[in-house]
Amino acid sequence: MEIDSNKYPLPKRMRHHTSPNLYFPLEDLREKPDHYPPLYSKLDWNKYFLNKRRPDILDVGCGKGKLLLDYAEKNPDMNIMGIEVRSQPVVWLSSVIEGELLDNAAVLWYSVVNGLPFIESESIEKVFYLFPDPWFKYKHKKRRAFNEKTIEEFYRVLKSGACLYLASDVSEVNDYHRNLLSNFGKFLVEIADDKSWGLPITNKEKFCRKKNIEYVRLMCLKT
């Protein structure tokens, strides 16, 4: 989907990073930080999707939403919801969705480390978790949103036989993902090629291709 940058100008100071506290569950923090994303136990899908249906696809860490918008445009019969911890991309992306009348797309300002209590069990066809912040330093790894609790939630919300999609251009992160999934033991994990992947390209994937940076894509089937 081509975005008119004059009609939808990006914020001048859209930062890639945000406060580290936003990557921890609120219950683990001594006090609620300023600008911490809201918590939800239930959502009224009528307020998020113009077609008033629940989501079929989750794009966790959707950023500026290139994949989300392209997927929504190419799959009008599927509802896709983006989840993003930074508020600026959410505000901008919401303006695009509303302006282009995409009735099957929505975006939520939220930190996935707090779980997905507003998503029904076994209701989701696909979960995308693509090119997350690697948090390279050892002391920062605890900020990675992909952990045992998050995997449990992804498994819970996915339908039987549905798929979790992962991607990273950092070999250590790929190993980290695969080790966690192996220990969890309830996903069949396969490395994907272009044919089996079949998803719109993300901004990060486009960058990696341009710069000849290797990356790995994993398709994790719920067993």
Catalytic positions, written as ranges: 133
Summarised one tens digit per residue, pLDDT across range 174-188 is 999 999 999 999 999
Instruction: Tell me, yes or no, whether 26 lies in a domain.
Output: no
pLDDT tens track of the chain, all 223 residues? 889 989 999 887 766 667 788 989 999 998 998 889 999 999 999 999 988 999 999 999 999 999 999 999 999 999 999 999 999 999 999 999 999 999 999 999 999 999 999 999 999 999 999 999 887 777 778 889 999 999 999 999 999 999 999 999 999 999 999 999 999 999 999 999 999 999 999 989 999 999 999 999 999 999 9
Instruction: Tell me, yes or no, whether 55 lies in a domain.
Output: yes
Q: How many domains would you assign to the chain?
A: 1
| Helix, strand, coil in percent for the chain, rounding step 5 | 35, 20, 45
Please give the Cα distance from 113 to 60 (Å, whole number). 11
37-46 own/partner pairs: CB under 8 Å, 24+ apart: 37/85, 37/87, 37/109, 37/110, 37/111, 38/109, 38/110, 39/110, 39/114, 40/108, 40/110, 40/117, 40/118, 41/117, 41/118, 42/117, 42/118, 43/108, 43/118
Please give the backbone phi and psi of residue 70, each rounded to the nearest 5 degrees, phi first. Answer: -65, -40
Domain containing residue 168: CATH number: 3.40.50.150
- For residue 174, give the nearest of 140, 153, 144 by alpha carbon: 144
Instruction: Tell me, yes or no, whether 65 lies in a domain.
Output: yes
Please give the Cα distance from 223 to 154 (Å, whole number). 13
Query: Do 81 and 58 meet the contact criterion of CB atoms below 8 Å apart?
Result: yes
> Model-level pTM greater than 0.75?
yes
Instruction: Tell me, yes or no, whether 68 lies in a domain.
Output: yes
Range(s) of the domain holding residue 57:
35-222
Query: Do 179 and 220 meet the contact criterion of CB atoms below 8 Å apart?
Result: no
Please give the Cα distance from 209 to 213 (Å, whole number). 6
Instruction: Tell me, yes or no, whether 12 lies in a domain.
Output: no
